Amino acid sequence: MKRKPRILKKLYRHWLELAVIDLSQDPTWRERLFNSEYNSELPINSENCEGLWKPAIKALGKYGLEYTVSKVPKNQVVEPWLAEGGLVVFEFKAKKFPAVRMQTGNNPDVI
């Protein structure tokens, strides 16, 4: 079923906020991200979603949602407080709608 871009964008935003961003708390993803190069995008889709909540995994497949996540340098942080105190910032974004994005500040001492 083909969805209108407006509806698809809402689906991307919904699942990003509800579940995809939670990968920043998953030990496996944290280790991958902390060890990755800055701006090196890792895919999040129905084939690369281990650690996600089951309904989110189902939604990725059902709606064909694809995201990326990367570690970003301080000069690309949207909200400077996210990088305070030595936090490392991860950025999640929708592949088809790059404006649908969220950043999280992460303590590198906790994996």
**20-65 confidence digits (pLDDT tens):** 999 999 999 999 999 999 999 999 999 999 999 999 999 999 999 9
Residue 48 CB coordination number (10 Å): 17
pTM above 0.85, yes or no: yes
Task: Indicate if the pLDDT at residue 17 is higher than 90.
Answer: yes
**C-alpha torsion sign, points 56, 48, 27, 106:** negative
